[in-house]
Amino acid sequence: MRFMIDFNNLISNYVKREIKEKTIGRYYPSEAGNCIRKVFYSYKNPKEVDLELLKVFEAGNILHEFIVNVLESEKNPQIELLEKESPFTLEVDDMTISGRVDDIVVVKVDNKVYLVEVKSTSSLKYTHEPHEAHIMQLQLYMHAKNIHNGMIIYVERNTLQSKSFQLNYDIKGAEKAIKRLKDIHQCLKENKLPIPEARAVYAKGWMCKGCQYREECFKDTPHL
């Protein structure tokens, strides 16, 4: 009998993560642009992330490593890669915003330093401008790292085609991101359920797709 290796099972085992309890008072930059109710649920009732979504995340990590290799390659001498990972900690009142910046690199082009956020996507067809959540995330990074030139690069997974958008540091954008995290922090401390933002704001409705807290959200707020 021929021995067959089930690679789908091997990959699933590899990307699978254990449920991790979150600490109220410690937040991540990516949470600033997410649906505030989803973030609230993730602290109060942590769940396993869907396996297929984990595979998408892993594909994004692999693509990020590829972009790092491109940026530091001697074939592209006009770009100097300064940091592959850019950890930071930002203390705000009684909370901490921190994390290892997985999808951020720091480069120098023409003696100007840029904080570059790399995002993978299944298609660039409708990517005409950066997502609001990604802009908010990058503004928070630039604020914490004191780097005032930013860039968001979307890379299509199947073709490696890309679109890039340059952004300048905007203190109001950074303050908006921090304010959202402060609002989440307050709701968590008071155990007060925030509004179902993704359902309430049309432009954010896409966040509901595949949300692991969809059932609880509709149960807690059935009429909207």
Taking the whole predicted model, whether its pTM rises above 0.75 is answered as yes
- Rounded Cα distance between 15 and 182, Å, is 31
Of residues 189, 138, 193, the one with CA closest to residue 166: 138
Query: Contact 167/138 with Cβ under 8 angstroms?
Result: yes
Kindly tell me if the per-residue pLDDT of 98 is higher than 80. Answer: yes
Strand-pair partners of 112: 109
Query: Which contiguous run of DSSP H or E holds residue 208?
Result: none
**pLDDT at 103 (0 to 100):** 67
Query: Contact 68/81 with Cβ under 8 angstroms?
Result: yes
- Rounded Cα distance between 157 and 145, Å, is 28
Task: Please report the domains of the chain, with CATH numbers, ordered by start residue.
Answer: 42-218 (3.40.1350.10)
Per the document, the length of the chain is 224
- Rounded Cα distance between 154 and 120, Å, is 6
**pLDDT at 89 (0 to 100):** 87
Q: What is the pLDDT of residues 180-207, one digit of tens each?
A: 999 999 999 999 999 999 998 888 888 8
Provide the residue type at 8 as one letter.
N
Provide the residue type at 136 as one letter.
M
Range with the lowest mean pLDDT among 48-57, 111-120, 162-171?
Answer: 48-57
- Rounded Cα distance between 82 and 41, Å, is 37
Q: What is the pLDDT of residues 121-159, one digit of tens each?
A: 999 998 999 999 899 999 999 999 999 999 999 999 999
Kindly tell me if the per-residue pLDDT of 1 is higher than 60. Answer: no
Map tokens 């954008």 to a residue. 173
